[in-house]
Amino acid sequence: MIINLIRYCLIQPQYSRLLFRETEKQGELFPGLLPVENTIRKAYLCHSSAKHLTPGDILLFYRSEDIRAVVAVGVCECTFRSQDPKEIVRKISQRTVYSLSEIENLTEKEVLVVLFRESRILEKQIGFDELSRMGAVKGPIQSIQKVKEDSLLWLKQRIVE
């Protein structure tokens, strides 16, 4: 049996608000919706050097800076790397919160594109303190990183609560 890995994906608040609109307070839910907000198929773009993301891997989106918690769960569909903004836009279509100019700025360096399906928004977000206390992280969460194996069972149970 193949066991897919669980990985943290660091996401900045301004992009988390757009990509996972359901995590925001009710009053902020509907002004000026973007196409990506109405779909479960989304794209995550970063400069991570992670090389072993595979289809089926579970992605925990950790919102940095303000909330400092896992706010959403996704499932990796596929990944690719590119430094060509037109290729990225062509392949991700309306699955991203980035504008063309932001993608052009990102592609000054090679970009890792992760196409994923949103699985769920966590009603009970998992804060950094809880992750640390349960041994699921050691040190700060950065870009994309693997979850510590000895905390996988706890984390899977915690996600489905």
Task: From first to last of the 161 residues of the chain, give the pLDDT tens digit.
Answer: 334 577 888 888 888 887 877 665 544 444 444 444 456 899 999 999 988 899 999 999 999 999 999 999 999 999 999 999 999 999 998 888 888 999 999 999 999 999 999 998 898 999 999 999 999 988 889 889 888 888 988 998 898 87
Pairing of strands 58-63, 69-82: antiparallel
Pairing of strands 69-82, 144-146: unpaired
Sketch out the chain's domains with CATH numbers. 6-51+58-159 (2.30.130.30)
Give the chain's count of helices (H) and strands (E): 5, 6
